[in-house]
Structures are given as C-alpha cells and as structure tokens.
Amino acid sequence: MLSFRLRTHVMNENTIFEERLKDVKYELSVYRQVMISPDSNVPAKASPASNVFEITERKDLGDDVFTNVFEQWLPPAGRGIYGGSVIALSLAAAQKTVPSDFHIHSCQCTFLHPGSGDRRQTFHVARIRQGSTFATRTVECRQQEDIIIIITVSFTRETDRVSETVEHTVAPFEIPEPPGEQCEERPEWTLTEPFQRHRIDIIDEPASNNSSDNRRIFRQWFRFPGVIPESGGPGAHLHALAFLTDGYFILAAAQLHRIWRLPFALEDVPLFPPKVRSQVQRVNESEGLGSTIEEWAKRPRMAMAMSGWFQKWKVLGQVTGEPWLSNECLQKMGLYWLHAHKREYFDWQKRPLRIILSCKS
C-alpha cells in the first residue's frame, strides 16, 4: 500500500516535492489506521490516489475474513452504499483465496440489505470447491448483524490448452470515436458518480429486412477513472468492471421498458431549478420516455432483478494491456473508454436483452 516514486523535473521541483510529501503523509496515516487498529469500524476517507477496492485481512475474526479500507460511495437518494462497490470488494476478497492463475469466470449476487457508508463491511469467504481447473467461493458481506450480499463466484484456471467449449458472440455496430476530456455537459445528479459516462445516439431500425418488428439500440461510452493497481493483475480490472456494471447494466430493464429510473422521485421534478429540469427532460427524451411529467407518470413502476454473464473472461481480464482500463494511461491521456450496447427487440411477449462490451483506443 505504501508507494514512493521519485519524480524528477527541472521546473517546480519544490512544488512537486511538497505535493508528493502530502501524498506520502496521507498514505502513512491510512497505513497506521489499518495496522494499529485493524478492527476499527470507521473506513478511511478516500483520495483520488486511493485504491477504493483495497481490502485487508481480519485474522481476529477467523480465516478468510477481510474488510474494506476505504469508505464507499453513497448514491444520491440511495438507501445504502453503491451496490457495485460491494460486488467489487466481494470479488476482491474471493480472489485472495485462490491461486494466482485462477480468474473469475462467473458470479451470482443476491442483495439482502442496504449497507451503511460510515461503517466498514466484513467479507467472509467460504472455500466451497478447489479443483485443478475450477474453484468455487461463496462470499458473505456483513455489517454488524446484517448480511448485505451473498455472492457465489466461480473461478477457472488459465491454461495454454485450446478451449473445446462452444463460444459465441455478436459483432458490435460501428462505434464512434471515444470522447476526449471535453465531452458534453453532465447532468448535475451524475457529478458525484465514481465513473464517467458519455451517451451515443440511439439507433432505431427494423430488426431485419423482412421483419415488421423494430429494434432499439442504446449505446454508451463509460469508464472507471480511479486507481487500478498494476500489482492486482487481470483480476483488479475485472473488479473495476464489476463495479461499473451496477451503474449502467442494472438499469437496462427499466430503460428498455421506458420506466422511470433516475435517482429521485418523479413527483420531485417540478420542484427542481430550471437548469436541472431541462437536463431531466433531455435525458428522458433521448431514451423515449417523453418530455412531460404526465407522460412519465403513465408508465408502470417496478422493482427489478438482473443476472449477468461475462463471456470471454480471459479477454476482459487481460485489459492490463489495453490503455482504456489502465490507470496510468487514463490519468495521462483520458481518451480510453469502455463501450456498451443495449439491444432491444420489440416483441411484446419476449423482450431479450443483449449487452455487448468492446473497447477502442
């Protein structure tokens, strides 16, 4: 966790030294908090240089028990901390209990209670199965007496043998260039998000040449701008990807069914300042929800559940060679984004959803 990198510059050497000295003092304070009081219930404040997925072992609670070092993001109007944080931290805990050549193959998550941001969580890992090729872990994220989430994670070992499994994928549509640092104005309620998003125009077109059905394709660039440590290997990038899924993918059902999904009550919109109301209108018009409160109110409301499967885990896990998810390249260049498609086929009895991930530099 302690890192010191000598930076040499001809100009402004004093300023650079002072800035780095502040970073070192901050990291030392976090180190002392964790090492001197490992059972502290209060998470440390995160800085832009912090790895928010960092966990530390809790030997005092038993074997394979971990806790988060830093506080996690609390979304506006959220009942608890951001679900993607809990997923990423749970995966990080499970990863600690498998050999280094085992990578995440799939996971299934069940949320049970909201988590509080002012107290640490503990992650209790059960080693269900350890084979030569596959391993299974179950993680319970706990806070005081509540279980926040239960996750079952399947790992598979990387080998040089040619895979004999059936694989399939869908080629993405032509992807526009990723945005630079200067992209369009972001709605105010997204300014505190720990990820960045950039909307791409929706595609409406026939499902096929001989079909009367139509399909709608939502596309978006998004990225995690935080710290992804190189020492974490491919797994650290998968944890960051899991962190992102709860911010975009979890809303897919509501978006495709044109159901209110913004992080505030529909009835509160008329009370917002004109600038915010205008942003709300633009967002909903772009997604086909309509532009008036009356139009939105006609749509049903729902709670939803979602399952996600990642094919090509090896490709996703090897993004250490792809600058879009490399923290150093993000800081220096800021031009690399992850791209997602949501494809909707208008069939009122069956409404399948595909999410296609690709990257482009």
The verdict on residue 250 lying in a domain is: yes
Residue 319 has pLDDT above 60, yes or no: no
Residue 264 has pLDDT above 80, yes or no: no
- C-alpha 237/C-alpha 103 separation (Å) is 11
Residue 82 has pLDDT above 50, yes or no: yes
Range with lowest mean pLDDT among 200-209, 255-264, 311-320? 311-320
Same domain as 151, residue 98: yes
- Check residue 191 and give its pLDDT: 65
Residue 105 has pLDDT above 70, yes or no: yes
Same domain as 307, residue 214: yes
Domain boundary among the residues 136, 157, 178 is at 157
Average predicted confidence (pLDDT) for the chain: 70
- Check residue 138 and give its pLDDT: 96
- pLDDT greater at residue 173 or residue 342: 173
- Check residue 54 and give its pLDDT: 92
The verdict on residue 131 lying in a domain is: yes
Same domain as 91, residue 55: yes
The verdict on residue 164 lying in a domain is: no
- Check residue 339 and give its pLDDT: 45
The verdict on residue 177 lying in a domain is: no
Give the mean model confidence (pLDDT) for residues 57-73: 93
The verdict on residue 280 lying in a domain is: no
Same domain as 57, residue 6: no
- Check residue 39 and give its pLDDT: 52
Q: What is the pTM of this model?
A: 0.68
Residue 271 has pLDDT above 60, yes or no: yes
The verdict on residue 162 lying in a domain is: no
Same domain as 2, residue 72: no
Confidence band of 32 (pLDDT split at 50, 70, 90)? very low
| 8 A C-beta contact, residue 322 and residue 361 | yes
Same domain as 310, residue 240: yes
Same domain as 97, residue 204: no
Same domain as 312, residue 329: yes
Same domain as 135, residue 61: yes
Indicate which CATH number applies to the domain containing 76. Answer: 3.10.129.10
- Which residues are bridge partners to 223 per DSSP? 196
Give the mean model confidence (pLDDT) for residues 298-325: 48
- pLDDT greater at residue 40 or residue 8: 40
Same domain as 27, residue 8: yes
Confidence band of 22 (pLDDT split at 50, 70, 90)? low
Q: What is the number of domains present in the chain?
A: 3
User: Residue 215's domain spans which residues?
Assistant: 188-257+302-360
